[in-house]
Structure 1
Amino acid sequence: MENVNFSDIFKSSFLEKTNSFSIIDSLIGLLVAFAVGLFIYWVYKKTFSGVIYSHTFNISLIVMSMATTLIIMGISSNILLSLGMVGALSIVRFRTPIKDPMDIVYIFWAIVSGILCGAGFIPLVILGSILIGAVLIFFINRIKVENPYLLIVRYSDRTIENPIEHVIAEHSLKHSIKSKSVMPGDDHEVTYEIRIKENNMSFINNISDMKGVKSAIMLSYDGNFTA
Structure 2
Amino acid sequence: MGDILNFQDIIKKSIVNLEAFRTVSYIDVVYGLGASFLIGMFIYWIYRKTYRGVVYSYNYNVSFVLMTMITALIIMTISTNIVLSLGMVGALSIVRFRSAVKDPLDIVYMFWAVSAGIASGAKLYPIAILGSALIGLTLVFLSRKKLKEQPFLLIIRHDERAQQGVKEKLRRMDYRLKSKTVRNEFTELTVEIRLRDDNTAFVNELNDLEGVQDVALVNYTGDYAQ
Task: Give the TM interval when normalised to the shorter protein.
Answer: 0.7 to 0.9
Please say if 1:181 is aligned against 2:181: yes
Letter in 2 for 1:164: V
Superposition misfits of 4+ residues, deviation over 6 angstroms: none
SS of aligned partner of 1:94: coil
Please say if 1:133 is aligned against 2:136: yes
Letter in 1 for 2:67: M
Q: In structure 2, do the counterparts of structure 1 residues 226 and 146 end up closer, same or farther at CA, with 3 Å as the change threshold? A: closer
Q: How does 1:2-151 map to 2 (within 5 A)?
A: 16-19=19-22, 21-141=24-144, 144-151=147-154
Letter in 1 for 2:106: D
| 8 Å Cα contact 2:180-2:190 kept in structure 1 | yes
Encode CA deviations 1:72-91: one digit per residue, 9 max, x unaligned: 11122322222222222222
Letter in 2 for 1:220: N
Q: Superposition RMSD on alpha carbons, in Å?
A: 2.5
1:202 deviates by: 2.1
1:142 deviates by: 6.1
State the alpha-carbon separation in 2 of the partners of residues 196 and 18 from structure 1: 60
1:143 deviates by: 6.1
State the alpha-carbon separation in 2 of the partners of residues 204 and 35 from structure 1: 44
TM-score scaled to structure 1, two decimals?
0.81
State the alpha-carbon separation in 2 of the partners of residues 203 and 24 from structure 1: 62
- Alignment partner, residue 224 of structure 2: 225
1:108 deviates by: 1.2
| 8 Å Cα contact 2:158-2:188 kept in structure 1 | yes
Encode CA deviations 1:43-77: one digit per residue, 9 max, x unaligned: 22222222122222222211111100111111223
1:92 deviates by: 1.6
SS of aligned partner of 1:31: helix
